[in-house]
Structures are given as C-alpha cells and as structure tokens.
Amino acid sequence: MEIFFTPQFKRQLRKLSRKNQEYKLLIKQRILLLSESPNHPQLRMHKLTNKENEYAISVDHSIRIVFSREKDTCYLLEIGSHDEIY
C-alpha cells in the first residue's frame, strides 16, 4: 500500500515527536506495518462512524492515526491522542 502524509499530519507528528522522542520509532513501525499488512491485528484498525472512507489505527493505548483509504493508497490525516482527534 502506498502511504501519503497530509500537511496537517506532518505538523501534528512534529509536535508529538517533540513531546516524546520514543514515539518516533513506534509511529514509524506502525506506518510500515500499515503499508505492508493493513489488516494486521496489532494495528487494531477500525472504521470511523459518520466518516466516509476514514479509519483509525492505534500506535499505543493513547495515540491514534486517522487515515483515509482508497484501494491501494492511504492518506494519513491526523495523529494524536484519542481525545484530540475524535
């Protein structure tokens, strides 16, 4: 699967990485896993209600990545805590 980053996602990622450097590697691993195996159980992917073509995966217990998916293309839209992005 091909992965694209929106400008908003990039800004949120920089902000999150400044707060906690440990997230960088974990986020990178989750994005790689999403590109190779989108339905992997470790991602805990779920469709967002009331959002057409939008899904979320878990980075850890508190951090989520929201993305839209069209065939073999994935657009990363937002990253942040559960309360920030839902």
What pTM was computed for the model? 0.91
Task: Return the pLDDT at 31.
Answer: 96
- In this prediction, residues 56-71 reach a mean pLDDT of 93
Q: What is the pLDDT of residues 11-56, one digit of tens each?
A: 999 999 888 888 889 999 999 999 999 889 999 999 998 888 899 9
Question: What does DSSP assign to residue 48?
Answer: P
**If we measure between CA atoms, which residue out of 59, 81, 55 comes closest to residue 1?**
55
The SS3 of residue 54 is strand
> Quick check: 18 and 12 in contact, CB under 8 A?
no
Q: Give domain limits for the chain.
A: 2-85
Q: Is the dihedral of CA 1, 58, 85, 51 positive or negative?
A: positive
Task: Indicate whether 86 pLDDT > 80.
Answer: no
Give the pLDDT of residue 42. Answer: 94
- State the pLDDT at residue 20: 83
The CATH homologous superfamily for domain 2-85 is: RelE-like (3.30.2310.20)
